[in-house]
Amino acid sequence: MASVNKVILVGRLGQDPELKYTQSEKAVAKFSVATDETWKDRQGEKQQKTTWHTVVAWDKLAEIIGQYVKKGSQVYIEGKIQVRSWEDTDGNKRYATEIVANNLVMLGDKKDSNGEEKPKAKPAPKPKGEGTEINDDDIPF
């Protein structure tokens, strides 16, 4: 039986993306996206929960994100869940759960928070199958 690892998020960026380049000159963007969930509790009161997701994008998609996406931008993201592990300086095993984006579409209006017209951007192309795996040595964070 086949397995599937697919994530779809619609949310807003919590900060401007951090765009860096690896030693092999691969672009990598890292940012957080907030998704909200609302419901009514037993007393009929509206409740809201915000979940923060760490998102990583590579290559051309990372460059597009670094150029066009800013804090507060509403985005649609497709990708996969990935868990990385490493040993910190004290020898403790650490883990990070991330969404590795392979597609992003900017949503919302065409004006930014200053009321100025945002530049038009096409949905980012999906990266080719090769080179999308994350290696610990490639991550500059």
Domains of the chain: which residue ranges? Answer: 7-38+48-117
Superfamily of domain 7-38+48-117: Nucleic acid-binding proteins (2.40.50.140)
Residue 125 pLDDT more than 70? no
Q: Quick one: DSSP state of residue 3? A: -
Could you read off the pLDDT of 10-43 as tens digits, one per residue?
999 999 999 999 999 999 999 999 999 999 999 9
Indicate the pLDDT class of residue 108, thresholds 50, 70 and 90: confident
- pLDDT score for 74: 95
On the CB side of 41, CA atoms within 13 Å amount to: 6
| β pairing state of 46-58 and 93-107 | parallel
Q: How far apart are the first and last CA of the chain?
A: 36
